[in-house]
């Protein structure tokens, strides 16, 4: 009997882990995980974090590319504080963001609600609305230059049919920025619609059916069920849209080159002109840091706003 008990003590129970074996296996598993995420981490460091550090360092120098960088301390930031053209570019950027982001978000959500139906041919319409996003901004800018042409453009030709004389869209300071914003909305609405559509299809139908049984109207179901459960999607769409709008450059470069009268000179275009036309890379880096800080602050504000209102579990 004593011999059998001794043998039983030497045997491990099913599912038991020997002391010291668990942490070692867990550490070896972590090494495998790092091998898989290593290339992505390298990309984040090399193409995102490292450029930010380099630009931040350059903002303390005066560098014209062909000469040796000269350390100037905070002179570039003092120059920025009194640079009216830079603050004008920031104001133009904010106006552009306000014109683009709310409109394309509302339109994308409306399209998603319309196309979240089991109807014949609905998949074709979903694909058609995404096609503009697949084109490059350069090509889109060239096409819309013709559309906005004051003489032979499609918009003014259509207005002329009903007796309306259209404006000179891209040469009028009052219309140039709204015209570029319209192009951005046209391009990005279908892409954002896909995310809202995925979010709508992830909401259990039983919730709407139960609410309808209790007498809730479609408007009440939309405000109290659909919108709250779309908060994760709304958060992603708003963050990516705002970052993209603050960084706009290609469309402005092709359609107006920052004109007329600097009415479309967004901050990113101002950075480009300072660096590659004036060859003042130190001050261009300072402007880049201003744009980086603004985008970071807006993103953190959205994280805080949506973090308290987002529900990821609907079960």
pLDDT tens-digit series, residues 101-160:
999 999 999 999 999 988 788 889 888 999 999 988 889 999 999 999 998 899 999 999
Q: Long-range contact list for 136-144, CB < 8 A, 24+ apart?
A: 136/250, 137/187, 137/250, 137/251, 137/254, 138/250, 138/254, 140/183, 140/187, 140/251, 141/183, 141/250, 141/251, 141/253, 141/254, 141/255, 142/254, 144/179, 144/183, 144/255
Which pair of tokens denotes residue 109? 């959500």
Which residue, 300, 236, 241, is CA-closest to 97?
241
Residue 311 has pLDDT above 90, yes or no: no
- Is 282 exposed, middle or buried, given 0-12, 13-18 or 19+ CB atoms closer than 10 A? buried
Q: How far apart are CA 204 and CA 206, in angstroms?
A: 5
Helix axes 176-201, 137-147, angle to 10 degrees: 130
- pLDDT tier at 5, thresholds 50, 70, 90: very low
Say which range, 8-12, 27-31, 185-189, 250-254, has the weakest mean pLDDT. Answer: 8-12
5 vs 133, more confident: 133
The pLDDT value given to residue 313: 57
Instruction: Tell me if 241 sits within 8 A of 105, measured CB to CB.
Output: yes
The pLDDT value given to residue 243: 95
Which one of 7-16, 112-121, 240-249 scores highest in mean pLDDT? 240-249
Q: How far apart are CA 6 and CA 59, in angstroms?
A: 74
Q: How far is Cα of residue 81 from the mean position of the Cα atoms in its chain?
A: 28
Q: How far apart are CA 46 and CA 36, in angstroms?
A: 17
């Amino acid at each position: 009997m004593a011999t059998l008990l001794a043998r039983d003590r030497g045997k491990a129970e099913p599912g038991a882990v020997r002391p010291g074996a668990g942490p070692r296996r867990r550490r070896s598993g972590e090494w495998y995980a790092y091998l898989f995420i290593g290339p992505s981490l390298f990309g984040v460091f090399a193409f995102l974090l490292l450029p930010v550090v380099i630009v931040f360092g350059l903002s303390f120098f005066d560098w014209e590319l062909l000469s040796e960088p000269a350390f100037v301390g905070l002179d570039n930031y003092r120059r920025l504080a009194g640079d009216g053209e830079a603050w004008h570019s920031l104001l133009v950027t904010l106006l552009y963001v306000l014109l683009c982001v709310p409109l394309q978000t509302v339109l994308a959500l409306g399209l998603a609600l319309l196309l979240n139906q089991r109807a014949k041919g609905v998949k074709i319409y979903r694909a058609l609305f995404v096609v503009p996003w697949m084109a490059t901004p350069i090509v889109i800018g060239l096409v819309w230059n013709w559309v906005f042409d004051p003489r032979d453009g499609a918009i003014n030709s259509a207005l002329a049919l009903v007796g309306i004389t259209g404006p000179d869209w891209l040469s009028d300071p009052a219309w140039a920025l709204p015209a570029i914003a319209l192009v951005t909305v046209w391009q990005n609405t279908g892409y954002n619609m896909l995310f809202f559509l995925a979010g709508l299809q992830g909401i259990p139908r039983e919730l709407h059916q139960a609410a309808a049984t209790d007498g809730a109207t479609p408007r009440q179901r939309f405000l109290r069920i659909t919108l709250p459960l779309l908060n994760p999607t709304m958060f992603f769409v708003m963050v990516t849209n705002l970052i993209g709008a603050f960084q706009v450059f290609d469309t402005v470069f092709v359609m107006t080159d920052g004109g007329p009268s600097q009415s479309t000179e967004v901050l990113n275009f101002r950075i480009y002109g300072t660096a590659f036309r004036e060859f003042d890379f130190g001050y261009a880096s300072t402007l880049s840091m201003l744009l980086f800080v603004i985008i970071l602050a807006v993103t953190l504000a959205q994280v805080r706003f949506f973090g308290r209102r987002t529900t990821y579990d609907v079960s």
